[in-house]
Structure formats: C-alpha cells, structure tokens
Chains A and B, each alone.
Chain A
C-alpha cells in the first residue's frame, strides 16, 4: 500500500515537472510581460504600506498595534497569498471560462487527477511580486526585532504559511467548483477572493458580523492576522496555528468534495 502511494506521488511529481517546464518554455519568450506583471503586483502591495506609514505619522499605535507589527501582518499575509497565486492561478479559468465553453473536456479525457491537471497547466509568475513584498517585509520585521524567534515559532511559521496557502486554494476551488452548476462562477469567486483584503488588518477593527464572516465563513483571518499575532505577541497560544491547520484541512475537504462532485454534473458545451 505504502509503496503504491509513493509510486503515485513520484509519478505525479514527474508529470508536474514535465507539464510545468513546458509551460515555462512558452512564457519565457515574454520577459517584459513577466517583469511588468511582477512589478504590478509588487507595487500595488507596496502602496498599502505607504498608506500605513502616512497614517502612523498621526498616531502612535492602532488599537495597541505598532506600525512595525502591522507591517509584519501585512507582509506575512502576502506569502500564502503569493504561493497560492503562483501555483493555482488556473482555477480562475475554471470559474470564468473552461466549464462554460466546454474546454474542461480535455481534463476529463486524460488518465490523471483532474485537480492536478488544472493546476499543473499554469504557473503565474506575477505572483512573485506578492512573494517578494511578503519576504521583504518579513525580513524587515526580523531586523526590527518585533518577532519572536525560537525553534517552535520558526517551524510553525512555515506550517502556517502552508496552511494559509491551502485556505486560499480551498476557497478558490470551492467557488470555481460552483461553475459546474451555474456555468460561470467567476463573479462569486471574485467576491470571495476580494474578502482577503479585510484580513490585511487586525480583525478587531471590524464590526462583529464582518469579523465572523472573515473568520469562520470565508476564513481569511486565519491566513494572516490570527497566526501573525502568534509570531508577534509572546504568550499567544500555539493553538491558533493548530486551528488554522484544522480549518485549512476542513475547507480543503469541503472544496475538493464540491469540485469532485461537480465534475460528475459537468455538462460540457454545445447543448
């Protein structure tokens, strides 16, 4: 049993390498586009930091959070977002186009996992812009000494990033999966995805309804703000990362089940 699973993993890793390297060959022809996209995402995130900087010219802290801490939350939020953006950007196409125009057929015809095929078809280099912002801001936070640095925190940092990316992917996959029933689910996906903007700031500034929504319904608070506080404030329980992982797994299971169910009600095009 174990050997079969391992062989399967090996095979999929190999397939991923083959598929992605082919994709990279086609996009490497347009380096200018790559740089502009990267810079575009980089820049629009940097603006957010400039905003915080200007605000903090007026106030010493925001409901107990210092500028350095907020910058960490902001930057930390970019990393899972960037990772998800880099690897699973093709999910957007499912929501907008592939189901409604019948191009999804091609995934149904190949002897590979369908979700795997969807994400292996494309890498989104623009995401490097977000990752770059994230890494720069986290490194800055390290040099400013606002983070707690010890063994468990470092390990959980990476765990949290991975779980956060999975939450992003799950939310995208769930809403994209709705396309199998309603043909085009892009607008709904867009609404859900945009909710992540709320999570760039401490969630306690919002009204209770919004806080509940972004914590438990579309749980972007668990991607950024809640785990970030674990790395910032001594004495915060590691449970928060545990809950984050739990939510990531739960949402992934729901999203994947919806997507999988959706492939069975897929109606192709031309009817």
Chain B
C-alpha cells in the first residue's frame, strides 16, 4: 500500500548571525545551513497494517508523514501511496488518505460539527448512500451524535479528537495518518479512540500509520513499529521481536515475612552470573524484595525458590520490562544492535 524508497528531506536555511551587525551581514552572505531532517529512509507497508512510527521530538517523524501525505516534497528519493506519488498527483492522493494531526483540527472552527461533515461530503464527493452508511458506522464507534450540532470550538479536546477522526474517515480513505492522536486525552477517551481505530482497521482494512509518544497506543494498536532517530531508521519490525531483543530484563517482586534472612543472600554469586545481570533491592518498608535479572540467563522460578528456601513469601509479581523503558533506552543509546 505504501512504498517509501530512500527518502530524504533537507531543510536549508540562511545562516544567522546574532545582533544588528549580524542581520546586515546575513543580508549579504550566502552561507546556508543544511539540516537533514529525514535521512535515507525506506520501508514498505502492506494493506491493513497498523504501524507505529516512533521517535523522539525532532527525530523526523512528522517530516516523514508530511512527505507521505503530499505536504512536503522529498529532497531525494520518492514514495508512493496506493500506487500514487503524493507529490506529483496531490489531489488524487488526497482522495485516498485521511489525516488527523493531533494539535490542529481540520474542522471548521465556528460551525456546528454537522456542517463540517456536510462540507467534507462535498469536498470528497461522497455519495448519499455512502455518506449514510459511513455516518451510521462512525456514530456507533465514535459516538458523534452527542455533540453533532455543537460548534467545533465548544467541543472538549476528547470530543474534538473523535470528531476529527470521524472527519478523516468520512470518505473511507485507504490510508489513515494519525499524528499524536491521543495526546492530552484522559484514559477513558484514549481507550475509546484506540478501540475506534481498531474497529475501523478491521472493518475497512484501512492501513493506519500513527506517530505517538504514548506507549499505550503502540501496545494496544500496532503489530509493527518503525523507530527513527535523528532522521535515520533504527528499527523496523514487530513489537514482540523488539521486546525480545531489547526487553531482556525481567523483574520479580516478592513480599517477604522475614526480610533480614533474605538480605544475606547474594543473588549474582548464587546463580554464577555477572553483577549487572541480577540485582536485588528492598523497598523502604523492608517488606518487598525486588529482583531484576536477565531472562535469558536466569529463570524466574530459580529466583523464587532461592528466596523461598530461606524465608516465607506471601505474594509474588513478575513483570516484563515496559516498552516505554525500551524506547527510552533506544533513544539514549541509539541504534539497536541485533
């Protein structure tokens, strides 16, 4: 459905010098600074996939999305969306895509929401039958009727996001781009939005690409993620694989009746592993022991039985490393080694 082929985007700006003198100097100098926001990125996305496109602020996420939607023209490389180059045939491409930019609404601010939909129906040339069918569906998953007659400016952020999502889907686009779709929303609304995206994807086989900082979005929605950093693609694969490679840490917390006995245990030595592959720590009240270890080297039952040998355990919890942490790690260390 989407083919991105060695795409790059440079932003060229005249070199700026400080102060009044600098401004005059700037007028006469032709020095330029080139910033490569997206650097030689390629990927292919199949119909019906939901792909999370993640990276830190300024990594080049939005720039890539803007190139795929036809807003920006790539400096090098090209991409095709549903067989169309968005830059050469912008209008046709626009008919194929739906876009929600979290921070910016594409609705008519002063008009009732219903009017926005009437206008969009005309703009995208949606037939009456399609319109009725689509509205019925959107009303069900997004519950638009609650605020359908209110001016957009009076909607809450959550309502506006639902409205924007509905507006982007009215013409049944083949590809849906979502830029930070859940930013600033409360948990219940987030959940609603995610459910809606899932349902749309299932019902219409809509390809969805979303950028987000919310790890929950990715865990709930994306079967595949692409991570970019400083304009370069550093990971492209499934979520489970990412966790497998990077999320090797596992954590066991145990509530213990006789903590003083456990304190004498030295876990790393006990299992014969490096210090950093197995750490232990008590909480402030000295009742919960938390052991963090490499799941490829040690099994959780081993830890459990070692503790239970010396003390009584009343409660156990085993936790995988959160995706959030993985992502944070990646941002810190850069490229993933495989």
Contacts and interface: CB of A to CB of B under 8 A. Distances in A.
Nearest to A15: B122
B99 A109 contact: yes
Interface stretch (B103-111, B257-265, B324-332): B103-111
A156 to B, nearest CB: 36
B191 interface: no
Given A26-B110, A264-B87, A270-B62, A108 B37 contact: no
B183 to A, nearest CB: 14
Given A15-B123, A19-B119, A264-B87, A109 B70 contact: yes
A5 interface: no
Interface in A106-135: 106, 108-113
Contacts of A68: none
B101 to A, nearest CB: 7
A23 to B, nearest CB: 9
Nearest to A25: B111
A15 to B, nearest CB: 6
B80 interface: no
Given A110-B94, A110-B123, A111-B94, A267 B72 contact: yes
Contacts of A26: 110-111
A224 to B, nearest CB: 35
A108 to B, nearest CB: 4
Interface residues of A, number: 25
Interface string A6-47: 000001001100110010011000000000000000000000
Interface string B118-130: 1100111100000
Contacts of B122: 14-15, 18
Given A111-B123, A264-B73, A266-B72, A271 B63 contact: yes
A22 B118 CA distance: 10
Contacts of B118: 18
Contacts of A111: 91-92, 94-95, 123-124
Nearest to A103: B104
Contacts of A14: 122
B287 to A, nearest CB: 49
6 contacts: A108-B69, A108-B71, A112-B123, A265-B73, A266-B72, A266-B73
Contacts of A266: 71-73
A14 B123 CA distance: 10
Interface in B54-72: 62-63, 66, 69-72
Q: How large is the interface on B (under 10, 10 to 19, 20 to 34, 35 or more residues)?
A: 20 to 34
A271 B37 contact: yes
Contact of A22 (B71, B99, B104, B108): B108
A187 B118 CA distance: 37
Contacts of A267: 11, 72
A22 B72 contact: no
A105 B101 contact: yes
B110 A108 contact: no
B213 to A, nearest CB: 15
A33 to B, nearest CB: 14
Contacts of A108: 69-71, 90, 94
Given A18-B118, A108-B94, A109-B71, 12 more contacts: A14-B122, A18-B122, A108-B69, A109-B106, A111-B123, A113-B91, A264-B73, A264-B87, A267-B72, A268-B62, A271-B11, A271-B35
Contacts of A11: 125
Contacts of A19: 119
B115 interface: yes
Contacts of B119: 18-19, 22
Contacts of B72: 266-268
B111 A22 contact: yes
A112 B92 CA distance: 9
A15 B126 CA distance: 13
B170 to A, nearest CB: 12
B176 to A, nearest CB: 12
Contacts of A264: 73, 87
Contacts of A109: 69-71, 94, 97, 99, 106
Contacts of A18: 118-119, 122
A102 to B, nearest CB: 8
A19 B62 CA distance: 29
Nearest to A265: B73
A239 to B, nearest CB: 39
Contacts of B35: 271
Most buried by B among A18, A25, A270, A271: A271
A271 B63 CA distance: 8
A270 B115 CA distance: 30
Nearest to A117: B123
A270 B71 CA distance: 13
Given A108-B71, A268-B71, A22 B115 contact: yes
B185 to A, nearest CB: 21
A106 B108 CA distance: 11
Contacts of B63: 271
A268 B87 contact: no
Contacts of B11: 267, 271
A268 B61 CA distance: 13
A109 B96 CA distance: 10
Interface string B30-59: 000001010000000000000000000000
